[in-house]
Amino acid sequence: MSAIDLLQLNVWLDYIFTTLYVIVLVALSLHFIVGNVLVSGRAKRRFIGWEWPHHDGPPVPFLPKFLHFQHVASMIVLAITGLYIRFPGFLIGDVSNARTFMRGAHYVAMIIVTINLVWRLWYTFYSSQRDYREFAITKMDIITAPKVILYYIFVKSDKPHLAKYNVMQKATYTAFAPLLILQAITGFALVTFPFEFLGNTSPRDWILGWNLGLLLGSTDLAGWYMRIAHYVINWLFILLTTIHVYLSVSEDLPAFLNFFGLGFLDKNHGGHHGDEGHEGHGDDHDHGHVHAPVISKAD
Amino acid sequence: MLLSRRINIALVGAFACVLFSAHVAVAQEYDLNFTLPTAGKSGCMVCHADPNLGRLQGDKFVSYWVDPRPLDEGPHAGVLCTGCHLDFAYKAPHNIAETEWQRTARLACKNCHQDQWKVYSDGAHSLAVQPGAQATERELEKPLCGDCHGAHDIVALTDNPAGRALMHTQGRQVCGRCHEDYWDNYSDYYHGEAYRRGATDAPSCWQCHGAHDIFPSDDRRSQVHERTLSDTCAQCHPDTNEAYIAYAGLIHKRMDIAEANPLFGIISSAKDAIRGVFGQIRSWFT
């Protein structure tokens, strides 16, 4: 790809993802207003009748909740500071040295996310409470995937319940791991100041100098490609997280609240349902197994 | 009692006369005729240290106040006023109508800073007027030393990080006020947009284009000529190649590229629509 194309690509990416994000926001708004409120009545049953999916699994341990909370906070910082680094007019006006501060905040959040990622992967695969099976997509998941999609587009009133997470959740959460690893690599490849412990070379030299840098004849050019990849993945995170938050809130608000230590805002918190397993916005038993005694399957 | 009142009235009247005469004095031509002491700054500063010193030129009040603080704290604290104001008549009132005292002062730097003057003289901003020739209007528009570096408030740059940091913030004043187009389109992500927002680690105009040795970009001597661009970029990006330095095409042309993008019109319309909606909502409450 010629560099001229890279100039075009930079601008195209800005517009494509900005447009895409607006489309997603409009689509989710329509999904909620038309689908949840007008067509299916799910919103009324959930937010007014307070009928939410029932969870019968064990409570989610503290550690994954803690890591998730830290991860959310750090990712918000990363998204805001990252967009500021690319678009210095973003959020803050003319503030001297704001970019230096934003870069510092970006690096701190980056370190937290990287530690979190390693910690979560260890927890997933090697801890005594390892939960990698919860994310594994089974044959049944694939077979029943269309029904899950039909449920989300309000064609069906119920979706198959196979495990804690449905197939779409499994696919999304599993995709987060390689995306995070890629984002960490591309992010470190953008750091150009040298470190003593790297033999006075920069992370960019260390990551790109012996491969893509050699191939392209310039580590800085390789860094440009990394920046583009970093920017694209950043938008993928923003898009996926927006959808994730929307579905978490609209499908299982009590679990969402509980996951962030706000369970006391749940109207049924410590109340009549007595559901100790009600933690973690999983896919456990949707309609037909709700907190509230009144059950509707009209949608 | 009556006497006391009369004295009071007389005093008030006298004070009013003084005020009136002072007002008239400002508007009138003054007539001074004495030789100014120029052996030290104090001779000039007797008058010019007064913040109220000025003249009415038409309807406009032009101040001739010289703030002594930056002058005394600056690198030229030991230089006499006449060290720069070379062509001043040493008599008051100064005959400013018949002298180019401002241009003279702004060029006076060359008498001491000869190395810089030599480089400047070869660059695009040099006056290039042959001795005895009349400078054209375009020549007269070219910046002199003082136009970029300032006058009484000049700061040292050599071995002075604070001075360099201050100079770094002056891109709009130094270059942008004449090269408005280039200032406006210096809007790529990491250089221009960041610099214009005050990023201290983003390059100022002269970090790429040069300062005293500035040339048009199509001049082979220019730091941004295609022949030398890679060396210029390498100041910050040490491992570049030809493909990489093509990024320079974005530095002053991002908006051109953006405006040519088919999505630009849609997003601009959407932005305008959103602004319109918010403007309408705001108008309901104001």
Q: What is the pLDDT of residues B37-68, one digit of tens each?
A: 655 666 788 888 899 988 888 889 989 899 98
Nearest Cβ partner of A88 from B199, B246, B257? Answer: B199
Residue of B237, B254, B266 with shortest CB distance to A220: B237
Q: In this predicted structure, what is the pLDDT of residue A143? A: 93
pTM of the model: 0.81
Q: Is B202 left (phi over 0), alpha (psi -120 to 50) or beta?
A: beta
Place of tokens 């280039």: B182
Q: What confidence tier does A81 reach under pLDDT thresholds 50, 70, 90? A: very high
Contact B197 A15 (CB under 8 A): no
- Of the pLDDT bands very low, low, confident and very high (cuts 50, 70, 90), residue B23 is very low
Confidence of residue B94 (pLDDT cuts 50, 70, 90): confident
Could you tell me where the DSSP H helices lie in B160-222? 161-168, 171, 180-184, 192-196, 205-209
Q: Which amino acid is at B218?
A: D
Region B111-135 average pLDDT: 84
pLDDT digits (tens, 9 = 90+) for A277-292: 444 455 544 444 444 3
Cβ count within 10 A of residue B118: 13
Nearest chain B Cα distance for residue A147, angstroms: 36
Provide the pLDDT for residue A2.
53
Residues of B near A (CB-CB distance < 8 A)? 169, 189-190, 193-194, 196-202, 237-244, 246-247, 249-250, 254, 257-258, 261, 263-264, 266-267, 270
pLDDT at A152: 93
Model confidence at B102, pLDDT cuts 50, 70, 90, reads confident
Report pLDDT for B21. Answer: 46
Cβ–Cβ < 8 Å for A116, A67: yes
The Cα diameter of chain A in Å comes to 68
pLDDT at B35: 61
pLDDT(A62) > 80: yes
Average pLDDT taken over every residue of chain B: 83
- Between A18-22, A128-132, B26-30, B235-239, the lowest mean confidence (pLDDT) is in B26-30
A107 or B134, which is more confident:
A107
Tell me, yes or no, if A211 comes closer than 8 A to chain B by beta carbon: no
Structure tokens at A1: 């790809």
Looking at residue A296, what is its pLDDT?
A: 34
Collapse the DSSP code of B134 into the 3-class scheme (helix H, G, I; strand E, B; otherwise coil) and give the result.
coil
A95 contacts on B by Cβ (under 8 Å): 197-198
What number is the average pLDDT over the span B260-278?
89
Q: A200 touching B, CB under 8 A?
A: no
Task: Quote the DSSP letter at residue A186.
Answer: H
CA distances from B103 to A216, A226, B47, B87, B281 (A): 52, 51, 22, 10, 53
Among A91, A232, A11, A97, residue whose Cα is nearest residue B187: A11
- Residues of chain B in contact with residue A96, where contact means CB-CB under 8 angstroms, are 169, 198-200
Query: What is the C-alpha R_g of chain A?
Result: 22
pLDDT at position B137: 83
The CA distance from B219 to the nearest CA of chain A, in Å, is 23
Local structure of B88: helix, strand or coil = coil
A12 contacts B262 by C-beta, under 8 angstroms = no
pLDDT of A289:
41
Whether A221 and chain B come into contact, CB under 8 Å, resolves to yes
Residue A94 and residue B197 in contact, taking contact as beta carbons nearer than 8 Å: yes
pLDDT of residue A161: 80
Q: Map tokens 């989610």 to a residue.
A: A60
pLDDT value for A220:
93
The model's confidence at residue A157, banded by pLDDT at 50, 70 and 90, is confident
Q: What is the percent of chain B with per-residue pLDDT over 90, rounded to a whole number?
A: 44
Q: What are the beta bridge partners of residue B61?
A: B56
Residue A100 has pLDDT above 80, yes or no: yes
pLDDT at B127 > cutoff 90:
no
Is residue A67's pLDDT more than 60?
yes
A16 contacts on B by Cβ (under 8 Å): 263
Is the ipTM higher than 0.90? The answer is no
**Cα torsion for A110, A112, A116, A118, to the nearest 10°?**
60
Tell me how far apart the alpha carbons of residues A299 and B14 are, in angstroms, rounded to a whole number.
Answer: 95
* Cis ω before B216 (30° cut-off from 0): no
Q: Which residues of B touch A3 (CB under 8 A)?
A: 242-244, 246-247, 249
Which residue of A lies nearest to B196 if distances are taken between CA atoms? A94
CA distance B43 to chain A (A): 40
CB contact (8 A) between residue B263 and residue A15? yes
Confidence of residue A118 (pLDDT cuts 50, 70, 90): very high
The answer for residues whose C-beta is within 8 angstroms of residue A211's C-beta and 6 or more apart is: none
Identify from B240, B244, B259, B274 which residue to disrupt to test chain A contact, counting A C-beta atoms within 10 A and taking the largest count: B244
> Rounded mean pLDDT of chain A?
86
Query: Each residue of A229-280: pLDDT tens digit?
Result: 999 999 999 999 999 999 999 999 998 888 888 878 877 765 444 343 444 4
